[in-house]
Each structure stands twice: as structure tokens, then as C-alpha cells.
Chain A
Amino acid sequence: MISRRAFLFLSFFAGTARAQLPANIAEIRKAQLQAAINKVVGGAQVRQGKVKLDIPPLIDNGNAVPVTVEVESPMTQADHVKAIHLFTERNPQPYVFTAHLGPRSGKARIATRARIGDSGEVIAIAQMADGSFWQDSVRVIVTLSACLEEGLI
């Protein structure tokens, strides 16, 4: 027969063993997101505007979320969108996709389906031919998370 004291003592350790995610996971993911964005923009200023990120603000199922990114640009040789990057705040990794475009794209519009791990920010960054960066971000609420096995915060 296990005593009450021993039971409490053991359950305390069982509890810590079950917590697989580090306690400051939110901070770590924020830092990862910042690092990923910095890798793309390299210290350049990212301005708001030009980019339009279309994603439902309330997501029932995070496993397949329709995402459309559209960037205002004439798409000429001199002025076109070079790349579109999409990041999420609360996934195990911040990257979603990087699309490389050119003047032959005609229009800067990409649509895909993403996995969104948890409620948080989704950020689209467009890299222009002149080296400037533009972004748009949307805060989404996820009811059923993708990568549920990772455990929610």
C-alpha cells in the first residue's frame, strides 16, 4: 500500500516527466520566428502594405487552411516581386513556404493550403526587385490544431 505522502511525491515527478515542451516555449517560438524573418530580410526594414494575406481568421481545422497571398506590383522587369515568404508564429517551425516569382509571373498571387499549429500570427513577407520588403499579418484563432501530438501550450 502506497502512503498518501509517497503518492503525492511520485505524482509530482510523473507530472514533470509528462511535460515534454519547455516552459518558455512561447518565447522560444517567437525568437525562432524572428530569426527566420531576419534570415529573409537581413536587417532591412519591413514595411506594412502592398501585400494582402487572405486567410480565414477563425480556423476550424488547422490541418488544411486555405491561404492566398497577393502582392500589388506591375510585375515588369524593373519592378516585380522576387519572392513571397509565409511564416507562422506558433508552429514547431516558423516556415510555411517560399515562392520565387519573376516578371513572367504576370501577377504576384500564390494560393496554397497550410498547416497552422495554434492561434497566433501568420505573416506574409514580399521581397521586391528593388530590395524592399513589405508585409501583412493576420491573427488567427485555431480550434483544432494541426500537429496536435506536439501538445498545445
Chain B
Amino acid sequence: MARVVVNVPAEAKKGEVIEIRTLAGHPMETGFRRTQLGELIPRDIIRSLVCTYNGVEIFRAELHPAIAANPLLTFTTVATESGTLEFRWTGDNGFSVTEKASIKVV
């Protein structure tokens, strides 16, 4: 299980634009590198990150090998209501991690 970290403000005013930072521990092996014996190291990357806010998709990103190891993604959303944000990373070799964060909107 890969370690993931999300940073969502615990509390926000209604209508405020909040910044969400996500970080997933993953080598993001490009598939272009070779071992010392010249064998190609197979590709192993996170392909997508989907973020839902109380079940509604608010952000989706497709990642490619040109994203650095331990992909960090920062994006924004409008704080509409209290609830949970769910983040889902999916990738090669059946990689799938879900993380939740709750937010209180006042």
C-alpha cells in the first residue's frame, strides 16, 4: 500500500476557494530507463487522480511518465458544503489507492 498525503483545510468559509495539495508515494518508473545489463525497466506509473467532493467529481488529472516520482498535484476547489473529499489514484500493475479528507464549511 502506497503512502499518500492530502492537505485540505479543516475549515473554510462558504464559497471560498480552497487549495488542495496531494502527494502519493510512487516511483513513477518511466519505462524508458534501462538496468545496468541493458534490460528495459517496465513502465510503472500512476495514470490518473480523481477527486470527488461529496460524490461529485471536481477534478481529474491524467498523468504520464513525465511526472516526477512521488507525484505532487496542487489544485483548487470552491468550498460549497461540509462533507468529505475523496481522492483516488489509479495506475499500472493494478495500483489503486483511495484517501479521504473531511472539510467543515461555515
Query: Which residues in A have some Cβ–Cβ distance to B below 8 Å?
Result: 63-65, 88, 91-93, 95-102, 104-107, 109-117, 146-147, 149-150
Chain B residues closer than 8 Å to A116, beta-carbon distance: 66
- Asked whether B64 lies within 8 Å of A95 as measured between CB atoms, the reply is yes
Describe B's contact surface by its main secondary structure. Answer: strand
- Asked whether B32 lies within 8 Å of A105 as measured between CB atoms, the reply is no
Chain B residue with Cβ nearest A65: B68
Specify which of A88, A91, A99, A146 is in contact with B75 (CB 8 Å cutoff). A99
Describe A's contact surface by its main secondary structure. Answer: mixed
- Closest CB-CB distance, A59 to chain B, in whole Å? 12
Specify which of B30, B56, B60, B66 is in contact with A88 (CB 8 Å cutoff). B66
Against A, the Cβ 8 Å flags (1 = close, 0 = not) of B10-52 are: 0000000110000000000010111000000000000000000
Question: Within 8 Å of chain A (Cβ to Cβ): is B78?
Answer: yes
- Asked whether B33 lies within 8 Å of A149 as measured between CB atoms, the reply is yes
Complex CA distance for A45 and B30, rounded to whole angstroms: 32
Contact A150 to B77, CB < 8 A, known contacts A63-B69, A93-B65: no
- Closest CB-CB distance, A147 to chain B, in whole Å? 5
Chain B residue with Cβ nearest A117: B66
Contact A115 to B58, CB < 8 A, known contacts A99-B75, A104-B80, A147-B30: no
Contact A111 to B74, CB < 8 A, known contacts A93-B64, A93-B66, A150-B32: yes
- Closest CB-CB distance, B8 to chain A, in whole Å? 14
Chain A residues closer than 8 Å to B65, beta-carbon distance: 92-93, 115
Question: Within 8 Å of chain A (Cβ to Cβ): is B5?
Answer: no
Chain B residues closer than 8 Å to A107, beta-carbon distance: 17, 76
- Asked whether A112 lies within 8 Å of B59 as measured between CB atoms, the reply is no
Contact A115 to B67, CB < 8 A, known contacts A101-B59, A150-B32: yes
Chain B residues closer than 8 Å to A98, beta-carbon distance: 61-62
- Beyond A107-B17, A112-B67, A112-B71, list 4 extra A-B contacts (CB 8 Å): A96-B64, A96-B67, A105-B77, A146-B66
A-B contact pairs, 25 of them (CB 8 A): A92-B30, A92-B65, A95-B66, A97-B61, A97-B62, A97-B64, A98-B62, A99-B61, A100-B61, A101-B75, A102-B58, A105-B76, A109-B76, A111-B72, A111-B74, A112-B72, A113-B67, A113-B71, A113-B72, A114-B66, A114-B68, A115-B30, A116-B66, A149-B33, A150-B32
